[in-house]
């Protein structure tokens, strides 16, 4: 089914609730008689101001409701598989300012739930679910208001505030067709925005202008929210992994790294491209770009359900070493010497990618930031990739003085680095290429269609 047709349907909240309930019961059979309770994000005012803060729905709540409205609640009664959404009642004082809110009837038509009630009926509803056997209630410890905890949950025989959060995190890893369609559409809009940046590249003079071009396209195509704060880093700014200033002049810089993406229906894309500001990569930039592109392509060849993510990451490092040796930046040994030394981390210091979904760095990756091996410490995903997950594949090579200079002072590392050749590459800044990959049982599907081959990128920039 086409993406547009899938997205015409309702977000599959009841299927998600049933999936979470099944997972909970697999860990604890007693959960079969329990009730899931979640609170959505509340309206919060800016400090010393009567304007609301920008609203972002709690992702766990959205996963079980598809509802992005503030001040809502939900229950899922596992024994009857009944999902109930609670929305704020009409406040007559607010209608003059904000208009009529969604009615319960409209909400029932819009969301995939069994019933919709005003939030004023929540206490009585919770009390009814706790009887007659005083069944258990499952909630998230940090996402239950104190009033609800003290007044409404006391009637339950037990309150489990620890099991639900990891259960939802785990269930979110494998995506259903609606979620895949959402990420695919976010990528479609993101590609249009990246193309607009490519076409604007030679007529702008500051990073912020590129950010403006990107955001305009996303808004115009219906994506009001960005998946994350975009990175528009020119020159050496591209060596900062999460550069956020986006306000420096482009004059005199070789390249610009654009890591930016749209959000659609609470689902994110995450795409990075590195572009030559002159319209043509110079020798040093082209050499690094080709190296990173090969790192990505070699990684993608390994992707399929069940692959060990650490093995894919390690292969990306091997390719980086081969390419840096070919360029003459590394010297004085062979690939095995370089692998043992860990020198590749100086140039590729982050993990190869992360799960993607409602969060840019999505849940369920089980990272181990205490890993003693710096090559694997910042991997946001550990273990085998299941079919049905979406993962980013985003290798990079960077020339960050703060990171590389300690290696130049270490006698065991500096012997592998040709300082004279390295000196030619500082102004490359950093090159990263990132796509969003749907893992299948026998391979993968690349959801990102943004151009990345050198010839195509240069042709678009130059208007040919």
Q: Model confidence over 390-448: pLDDT tens digits?
A: 999 999 999 999 999 999 999 999 999 999 999 999 999 999 999 999 999 999 999 99
* Per-chain mean pLDDT for the chain: 95
Residue 315 has pLDDT above 90, yes or no: yes
CA 450 to chain centre: 17
Return the SS3 of 146. helix
The full length of the chain comes to 464
The two tokens of residue 69 are 């409205």
Residues 6 or more apart in contact with residue 97 via CB below 8 angstroms: none
Residue-wise pLDDT for 85-118, tens only, equals: 999 999 888 889 889 999 999 999 999 999 999 9
Residue-wise pLDDT for 149-171, tens only, equals: 665 666 787 889 999 999 999 99
β-strand pairing of 115-118 with 82-87: parallel
The two tokens of residue 429 are 């800044």
Q: Residue range 35-41: average pLDDT? A: 97
Alpha carbon distance 185, 385 (integer Å): 23
Helix H segments across 277-377? 283-300, 309-327, 335-341
Residues 6 or more apart in contact with residue 141 via CB below 8 angstroms: 161, 162, 165
CA angle 394, 396, 397 (to 5 degrees): 175
Residue with tokens 């979470």: 20
The two tokens of residue 414 are 């500096």
What's the chain's Rg over C-alpha atoms? 25
Answer for the pair 412, 364: CB distance below 8 angstroms, yes or no: no
Residue with tokens 């795409």: 271
pLDDT at position 152, please? 62
Alpha carbon distance 20, 10 (integer Å): 18
Residue 133 has pLDDT above 80, yes or no: no
User: What proportion of the chain, given as a percentage, has pLDDT over 90?
Assistant: 88
pLDDT at position 155, please? 72
Helix H segments across 39-176? 59-63, 92-98, 104-110, 122-129, 146-151, 164-171
Answer for the pair 317, 375: CB distance below 8 angstroms, yes or no: yes
The two tokens of residue 152 are 């409404």
Q: Residue range 56-77: average pLDDT? A: 97
């Amino acid at each position: 089914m086409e993406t547009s047709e899938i997205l015409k349907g309702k977000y599959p909240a009841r299927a998600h609730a049933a999936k979470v309930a099944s997972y909970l019961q697999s860990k604890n059979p007693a959960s079969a008689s329990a009730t899931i309770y979640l609170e959505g994000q509340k309206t919060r005012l800016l400090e010393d101001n009567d304007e609301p803060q920008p609203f972002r729905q709690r992702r766990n709540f959205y996963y079980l409701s598809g509802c992005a409205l503030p001040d809502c609640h939900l229950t899922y009664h596992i024994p009857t598989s009944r999902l109930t959404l609670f929305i704020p009642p009409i406040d007559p004082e607010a209608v003059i300012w904000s208009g009529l809110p969604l009615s319960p009837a409209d909400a029932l038509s819009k969301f995939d739930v069994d019933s919709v009630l005003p939030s004023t009926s929540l206490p009585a509803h919770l009390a009814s679910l706790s009887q007659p056997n005083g069944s258990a209630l499952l909630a998230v410890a940090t996402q239950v208001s104190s009033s609800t905890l003290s007044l409404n949950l006391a009637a339950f025989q037990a309150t489990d505030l620890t099991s639900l959060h990891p259960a939802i995190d785990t269930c979110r890893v494998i995506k259903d067709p609606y979620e895949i369609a959402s990420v695919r559409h976010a990528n479609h809009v993101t590609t249009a925005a990246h193309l607009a940046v490519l076409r604007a590249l030679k007529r702008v003079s500051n990073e912020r202008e590129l950010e403006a071009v990107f955001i305009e396209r996303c808004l115009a195509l219906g994506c009001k929210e960005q998946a994350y704060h975009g990175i528009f880093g020119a020159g050496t700014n591209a060596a900062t992994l999460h550069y956020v200033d986006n306000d420096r002049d482009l004059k005199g810089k070789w390249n610009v790294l654009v890591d930016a993406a749209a959000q659609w229906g609470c689902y994110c894309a995450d795409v990075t491209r590195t572009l030559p500001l002159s319209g043509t990569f110079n020798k040093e930039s082209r050499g690094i770009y080709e190296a990173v592109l090969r790192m990505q392509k070699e990684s993608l060849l390994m992707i399929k359900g069940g692959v060990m993510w650490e093995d894919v990451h390690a292969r990306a490092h091997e390719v980086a070493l081969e390419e840096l040796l070919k360029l003459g930046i590394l010297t004085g040994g062979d690939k095995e010497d370089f692998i043992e030394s860990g020198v590749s981390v100086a140039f590729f210091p982050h993990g190869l990618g992360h799960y993607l979904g409602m969060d840019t760095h999505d849940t369920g990756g089980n990272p181990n930031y205490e890993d003693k091996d710096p090559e694997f410490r910042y991997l946001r995903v550990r273990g085998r990739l299941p079919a049905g997950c979406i993962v980013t594949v985003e290798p990079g090579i960077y020339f960050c003085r703060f990171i590389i200079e300690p290696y130049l002072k270490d006698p065991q590392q500096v012997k592998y680095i040709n300082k004279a050749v390295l000196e030619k590459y500082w102004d490359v800044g950093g090159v990263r290429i990132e796509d969003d990959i749907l893992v299948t049982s026998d391979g993968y599907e690349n959801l990102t269609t943004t151009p990345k081959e050198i010839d195509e990128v240069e042709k678009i920039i130059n208007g040919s």
